[in-house]
Amino acid sequence: MKLVSWNVNGLRACLDKGFLDYVAQENPDVICLQETKLQPEQAVFPLEGYHRYFNSADKKGYSGTAILTKEKPLSVTYDFGADIHRHEGRIITAEYPAFYLVCCYTPNSKEELARLPYRMEWEDDLRAYLQELDQKKPVVYCGDLNVAHQEIDLKNPKTNRKNPGFSDEERAKMTELLASGFVDTFRALHPEETGVYSWWSYRFNSRAKNAGWRIDYFIVSERLREHIAAAQIRTEVLGSDHCPVVLELA
């Protein structure tokens, strides 16, 4: 089974930049999208063979997630937990016979870490949610998780420490999640690989210089580790400031 996760930074814009061509070439079974920035009725595009599920933010043109899937899930739920987590369209959970798929667009901590207290609350509540699902069946958790976990996950770790996405607090929450029974699939297969990123700032010609961050992930329950057939980052695919990440399960 091939799964793709991609922060498209506006799906309508990405459609004009080759989104459908990429999907045709990759031919994944499931596509998880983040930062769709649209309402469901605006998602008008030809994509035969996929069931479509969208979760949009209350605020139009902001955030949003989607799951496009060839196999119809057993169930689909939107958001999770307390009301505070239910207004920005950041989570979709699709249940399949063998696992739960959780598509996530993690809140950014913002400049000066202004939103870090909420981010910490989000991380704790979401980890509890994933553990609750994991008690029923294995979990595949993916998306733009807005954190570079280790120093090898970004080009300039020393100058970015304490910045949003590389604060000690955010990195510690990722460590805590992985320690609670989950696996970073890319690092499981590529433990020492450097210079492979999934996001580049639009500023300073960052992508051409490969001054990027790996902040897009597929994370799975520990008992799925032996089923990880491939974990790849499609750095050559344009259309967004992020590129797709791919997981193949055997």
- Would residue 141 show up in a list of annotated catalytic residues for this protein? no
Catalytic member of 96, 100, 144, 217: 144
Give me 33's structure tokens: 């999208």
80's CB contacts (< 8 A; 6+ apart) are 86, 91, 93, 125, 126, 129
- Would residue 105 show up in a list of annotated catalytic residues for this protein? yes
Helices within the chain (DSSP H only) = 11-15, 19-26, 116-134, 157-160, 168-179, 185-189
Q: What H or E segment, with its residue span, contains residue 220?
A: strand 216-221
**What is the DSSP pairing of strand 182-184 with strand 216-221?**
antiparallel
Give me 216's structure tokens: 């897009």
Catalytic member of 105, 129, 141, 197: 105
Q: Is 208 left (phi over 0), alpha (psi -120 to 50) or beta?
A: alpha
Residue positions annotated with a catalytic role: 105, 144
